[in-house]
Structure 1
Amino acid sequence: MDEQLILDAVRTYVYREFSGEGTGHDFFHLERVVKMALRIARQENANLFLTELAAWMHDVGDHKLNNGVDRSEEQITAMLNQLNVPEHVTSQVTAIVSQVSFSKGKIAETIEAKIVQDADRLDAIGAIGLARVFAFGGSKQREIHNPQQPDQTTLQHFYDKLLKLKDLMNTATAKQIALERHGYLEAFLERFYKEWNGEA
């Protein structure tokens, strides 16, 4: 099994599938998650190949991009079968991917799953996460903020998910990175409400 050949082919596949995607789950999101996952994996002595492969594929077949239907296992298995990836590796990748999503609420079981989950969550906070949440909200025609009906607004997503992520990190490396990124979100919200209320 030529690991680099497989990684190159998967990168090409996700580039083709995710380039230009407008909800914040584009190719560059995947690339950032890969970079962060590898950074954490080196600190945590995890399997770098498995970590990188799962990180590249963590949004493949995701329900958010398939009209609410999760096709992750189906699409990942089909892709890796084409590349003659051994079945045990494919099953590890699909297991990791099934545990990454915040909305599924699953606990990451292996160190590689914990790392990919952390890397994905780190990309949802800080400056990049801030940009992504409004890109996603706009793609779903959500209001930025509405004090009378906050539930379906983009700002509500901060409270439903983003501000919770700091305390959900698995690895020591991610916990440290999350502290600063979380602080950036808090500072943004403080400024947002001041401007909203005409105080700044």
Structure 2
Amino acid sequence: MNTAQQLRAIHQYTYEKMKSDKTGHGFDHIQRVVNLTKYIAAQETQPFNYLTAVSAAYLHDIADDKLVTDVQASETEMKNFLTSIEFLPSQIAAITTITHNMSFSKSLENKHQQLSLAGQMVQDADRLDAIGAIGITRAIYYGGAHQEIIYDPKIKPRKSFSKQEYRDLDNETIINHFYEKLLKLKVLMNTTGGKLLAEQRQQFMLDFLTEFKAEWTGEK
């Protein structure tokens, strides 16, 4: 198989896996992360592995522990699939290193691993899709899917938390999620392209939060 054939196969594999997601991590999200990865890659001057970057962008949620019940089984199936379309063990290892270490929750475990440039691109792309207009929509959609409280001014955003606490949605509101995670992502961007896009998306979220709070009481 050539690279184009491999990427078409990965596209179809991921589509079948993610097409039914109802949490904001469906194939539309995957495709945006792929497109953002390609956008960031087009501006990069340093060498990187394009196939690794785009493959990881497609596959980054396949074995995510907040989306699947058996992470190990999902990852094993993904690796077997990549082997079947002629990826080398070293290529599979490069992809899984990215997918293992790119999530925001990983930074809460004090087990940060430096990503390759390809991984940094995918991480930025995934984080960009969590902010701005799409990010606002996804945060509300995900919160609704998990019966989160929309907003309660008496519940203050948490300043620090473990991964387990972060995933405990009983202690979070949808609006607090902006302060606990989304507004932090701009300064965590790795690439020049990611940083530029994050600037405008950050401001859009800040404007939304200002308007939301002004409207919350129904007096405006």
- For Structure 1 versus Structure 2, the TM-score category normalised by the shorter chain is over 0.9
**Matching residue of 2:126:** 120
Q: Distance in 2 between matches of 1:148 and 1:131?
A: 23
**Matching residue of 2:67:** 65
Q: Distance in 1 between matches of 2:119 and 2:51?
A: 13
Q: Distance in 2 between matches of 1:108 and 1:119?
A: 16
Give the 3-state SS of the residue equivalent to 1:103 in structure 2.
Answer: helix
* CA deviation map 1:75-119 (0-9, x unaligned): 331221222211111111001111211111134421001000000
**Matching residue of 1:77:** 79
Q: Confirm or deny that 1:177 pairs with 2:194.
A: no
Q: Which runs of 5+ in 2 are unaligned?
A: 157-170
* CA deviation map 1:129-166 (0-9, x unaligned): 01000111011111111233454211111111000000
Query: What is the letter of the counterpart of residue 114 of structure 1?
Result: Q
Q: Which runs of 5+ in 1 are unaligned?
A: none
* CA deviation map 1:158-183 (0-9, x unaligned): 11100000000001111011000000
Q: Distance in 1 between matches of 2:153 and 2:145?
A: 21
Q: Distance in 2 between matches of 1:95 and 1:73?
A: 12
Q: Distance in 2 between matches of 1:57 and 1:80?
A: 10
What is the deviation of 1:74? 2.5
Q: What RMSD over aligned residues (CA atoms) do the two structures have, in Å?
A: 1.5
**Matching residue of 2:23:** 23
Question: Which of the pair has the greater relative contact order for Cα pairs under 8 Å at 6+ separation?
Answer: 2
Q: Distance in 2 between matches of 1:75 and 1:183?
A: 40
User: Percent of aligned positions with the same letter in both sequences?
Assistant: 39
**Matching residue of 2:40:** 40
- Cα contact 1:61–1:70 (8 A) shared by 2: yes
- Cα contact 1:118–1:169 (8 A) shared by 2: yes
Give 2:58's match in structure 1, choosing from 56, 77, 97.
Answer: 56
* CA deviation map 1:27-52 (0-9, x unaligned): 01000000000111121143222111
What is the deviation of 1:199? 4.1
Give 1:97's match in structure 2, choosing from 99, 111, 132.
Answer: 99
Query: What is the letter of the counterpart of residue 173 of structure 1?
Result: G
Identify which range, 182-191 or 149-158, moves more after superposition. 149-158
Identify which range, 159-168 or 97-106, moves more after superposition. 97-106
- Cα contact 1:18–1:26 (8 A) shared by 2: yes
